[in-house]
Each structure stands twice: as structure tokens, then as C-alpha cells.
Amino acid sequence: MIERMNHKEISSKVYFIPARREDGNEALAGKAEKVFLKTGLKKQIEKNSFVAMKIHFGEKGNTGYIKPQWLVDIIAQIKNVSSHVFLTDSNTLYVSQRSNSIDHIHLAWEHGFTQENIGIPVIIADGLLGRDGGEVRVNLPHIKTAKISSVFLNSDVLLCLTHFTGHILTGFGGALKNLGMGCASRAGKLEQHSDVHPWVNPKQCTGCGVCVDYCPTQAISLDEEKAVIEEKGCIGCGECLVVCKPGAVKFRWDADSVRVQEKMSEYACSVWRLYKDKIGFISFLLKMTKDCDCMSKDQPPIVEDIGILGSIDPVAIDRASVDLMIERGGKDLFREGYDVDWSVQLEHGSRIGLGNRDYELIELT
């Protein structure tokens, strides 16, 4: 076992094992299991504990999501203690095959998350239409009461399984986003996006109408062959910016991204407080892409595969993931992709007591 120190102070442990997709499913499952066991989360599971494994099943057409075969050994370890383990995710704010539980589960099955393959059920966290949830009082700077999906309010142990990628609003999508945005009900997601206000530069707009087709709330229309966004109907999901090839859709990055990241960190803190010492994080730095797995398309990796990380600290595991990506890529590929200061979520998370940016990276063999 090789230990490598990062930053001036040692605080949170992050376990790392090198891995590549070429290793094969069996080897990757074994490596993920090794990282999971090092986090110590298994020791917090009791007989008949309800163990939620939070994951992103991948949008239809996406290929970057965590593969079910990589999880079988972790699942076996948990089932040795409790049979009440399941995979879960919440419904999306935007309209897609993951915006209601029936289509969401069918998509999970299509991507291999079946009883036959993994031996545990898939449960959608916030009910049929994303309305099942409750409120958690947190009294943080932006969020006083967080709106959380019901499954996460009723489970005993939470393991967040994250595919580390870039993200259009937050710079990257890591453990903090998986925890904060991913565990929120639809109302909670809307609250986190409520300060995002995209606009269209008419000089760049070609009037192609693609953004109109993709807008989940019909807040975009064409006026004299130029796209116009009605601010009142906009939910800030960012779909229009992603699909606009001419680059005509703009965000106020200096303000919008900061607020989203800070709110997201506060939502993550609300869930983290619920579980205390019964929460852990596994991040897969495999096929890291510019956009997250919500994109319904195959995306090329922006850097070669790095490995699998585990920790009980979401801030530390995200900081370590970014550092490894920069080290391997030779530059900050996420900041280069969208010019977003992703450090906001880490700084705010540290400030509100969610985790520590100082970490000890422990490399496993």
C-alpha cells in the first residue's frame, strides 16, 4: 500500500486504486470492493438496515454511466450483513425517460440493472412523479429547509456511487452533486436551479429551433427566427445551453454558477447530516466526459481512465478526484470545458462543515 500526501494538513482519508475499463468487469468489481471495504462503511451496517446505493442509471443513449457488473462484489459484501439493500436514484427535473418512475426503472433495466444481474431491486427515490419527499431543517445561508426524496429520509445507510464527469453548471459532477442534487426531490432540484437565468445572444442565434425542442417547460420560442427565453417559465436546467451548437445561449456564469454550487453543497449537507457516520462515497474515474451522464448520447473521454476512489468525506473525495484528473490530463480540463470555477462547491462545503479539502490519498495495490 502506497501513501501519498496532498495539501499541507492531513485530515480526511481518500482511498485510491488505479483502474481502467480494459481491466474487465470482474477485476473492476474486485477493485471497487477493495475501496469500499477500506472506507469502513460496512462496519456501520446492521442486520436488516435499509441500505440505499445512490447511483445515476445513465440517460437513454448514454454509455458513460457506472456499469452494474462493477458493483456485484460491493453488493455481495452488503448482503452478507443485510438483505435490505437496493439501488436508487431520484427523478429528473427536466422531461426525459428518467422523469417518472416507470420509465426510469425500465431504462435502468435496459442498462443492465436487473434483478438477474445484480440481485437487488431498483427503487426510485421520490415516487412516481418526483413528488414524494419531506423537508429537513438545516438553517444554512441559502437553504433553510431542504426538500429531500422520501427514500433518503427513511434509509439507515447511504452509499453514493458517482461517475465523475464534467458539468455545465458546476464545472464537474462528483460526490457533492450526487448527494445534493441527486437526493433532492423535484421541488428541491428546482430550488437549487432557481437562480439560473440563461439568455440568447441574437447575433449568434441561427434560428434552428433545437433549443425549443429540448426545453422541458416550453419556455423558449422563436421570434423573427431568433430564440427567446421566457424567464418566468425557465427552470434553469441548462438543456438549452448544451444543445445550442452556435453557442448563442449564455449563462451569467459569475453569479448563476456560484449560487447553484453553494445551494447544491447545502443540500448535500442536509443529507449528510441525516446519516452522520453511516454514509460513504465511491467515485469512478473511468470514461470521464465533458458532460454528465444526463446527456442522451455517447461521449468521448476527455482524459484516460484513472481509477476508483473511496472516502467517507464528500468534499475530500471530490478534491482528490479533481487533483488526479488535472495531474493525469496535464491541465484543468473541466475548467477549460465550460470556464466554470468548480472550487466554489468545495470551498462552501468546507465552510459549512460538510467535509475537508485537505486529504490523505492512500493508494491501494
C-beta of residue 309 within 8 angstroms of C-beta of residue 321: yes
Q: Are residues 204 and 352 in the same domain?
A: no
Q: Are residues 273 and 343 in the same domain?
A: yes
Q: Are residues 206 and 264 in the same domain?
A: no
Q: Are residues 268 and 282 in the same domain?
A: yes
Mean pLDDT taken over the chain:
92
DSSP-derived secondary structure letter, 91: P
Task: Name the strand (E) or helix (H) holding 266.
Answer: helix 253-275
Q: Are residues 341 and 234 in the same domain?
A: no
Asked which of 230, 250, 270 is the last residue of a domain, the reply is 250
Q: Are residues 265 and 301 in the same domain?
A: yes
Q: Are residues 234 and 279 in the same domain?
A: no
Query: What per-residue confidence (pLDDT) applies to 219?
Result: 93
pLDDT digits (tens, 9 = 90+) for 281-309: 999 999 999 999 888 889 999 999 999 99
Q: Are residues 22 and 133 in the same domain?
A: yes
The total number of structural domains that make up the chain: 2
pLDDT digits (tens, 9 = 90+) for 127-138: 998 889 999 999
Rounded to two decimals, what is the model's pTM? 0.86
C-beta of residue 72 within 8 angstroms of C-beta of residue 108: no
Q: Please determine, for residue 242, whether its predicted confidence score (pLDDT) is greater than 80.
A: no
Q: Please determine, for residue 7, whether its predicted confidence score (pLDDT) is greater than 50.
A: no
Q: Please determine, for residue 200, whether its predicted confidence score (pLDDT) is greater than 70.
A: yes
Query: What per-residue confidence (pLDDT) applies to 168?
Result: 86
Query: What per-residue confidence (pLDDT) applies to 15?
Result: 98
Q: What is the mean pLDDT of the segment spanning 150-159?
A: 98
Q: Which CATH number is 56's domain given? A: 3.40.50.11440
Asked which of 234, 250, 266 is the last residue of a domain, the reply is 250
Torsion of CA 296, 298, 301, 305, to 10 degrees: 100
Q: Are residues 180 and 313 in the same domain?
A: yes
Give the percent of the chain with pLDDT over 70. Answer: 95
Q: Which CATH number is 227's domain given? A: 3.30.70.20
Long-range contacts of 241-247 (CB under 8 A, 24+ apart): 241/168, 241/198, 242/168, 242/291, 242/295, 243/210, 243/211, 243/214, 244/210, 244/211, 245/208, 245/210, 246/204, 246/205, 246/206, 246/208, 247/204
pLDDT digits (tens, 9 = 90+) for 259-271: 999 999 999 999 9
Q: Are residues 71 and 204 in the same domain?
A: no
Query: What per-residue confidence (pLDDT) applies to 234?
Result: 87
pLDDT digits (tens, 9 = 90+) for 326-341: 999 999 999 888 888 9
Q: Please determine, for residue 196, whether its predicted confidence score (pLDDT) is greater than 90.
A: no
pLDDT digits (tens, 9 = 90+) for 44-97: 999 999 999 999 999 999 999 999 999 999 999 999 999 999 999 999 877 778
> Whole domain around residue 240: which residue ranges?
199-250
Query: What per-residue confidence (pLDDT) applies to 101?
Result: 96
Q: Are residues 46 and 107 in the same domain?
A: yes
Query: What per-residue confidence (pLDDT) applies to 10?
Result: 53
Q: Are residues 239 and 91 in the same domain?
A: no
Query: What per-residue confidence (pLDDT) applies to 302?
Result: 95
